[in-house]
Amino acid sequence: MNEKCFALKKVMTRTGNCACRDGNCPGYSACPFYKPVWKFERDLELKFAKLAALPESTQRHIAYKYYRGLMPWRRDMA
């Protein structure tokens, strides 16, 4: 399976290249960071479901520390 890597579709960089290897993508079979877009999105949904199940105070702590105060797992991106 040779699907487009999530890093080329979902991660914005100034050059448009993947930042993992300074723009020198060795291809999916040689890169330990490769992940197809569908798997990236599935993993993100699983991560958000876990975050949403945490206590409110823990969610707020994580939001302020890692998400600039936002809670994207609640679709709270305004």
Stretch that binds ligand SF4, among 19-27, 38-46, 47-55, 69-77 (CB under 6 A): 19-27
Task: Give yes or no for residue 18 binding ligand SF4 (CB under 6 A).
Answer: yes
Tokens coding 47? 């991560």
Task: Give yes or no for residue 8 binding ligand SF4 (CB under 6 A).
Answer: yes
Is the four-CA dihedral 25, 28, 29, 30 of positive or negative sign? positive
Which 33-72 positions form the footprint of ligand SF4 (CB under 6 A)? 33-34
**Shortest Å, Cβ 33 to ligand SF4:** 4
Among 9, 10, 21, 60, binds ligand SF4 (CB under 6 A): 21
Nearer to ligand SF4, 4 or 61 (CB): 4
6 contact partners, CB below 8 Å, separation of at least 6: 35, 36, 37, 39, 40, 41
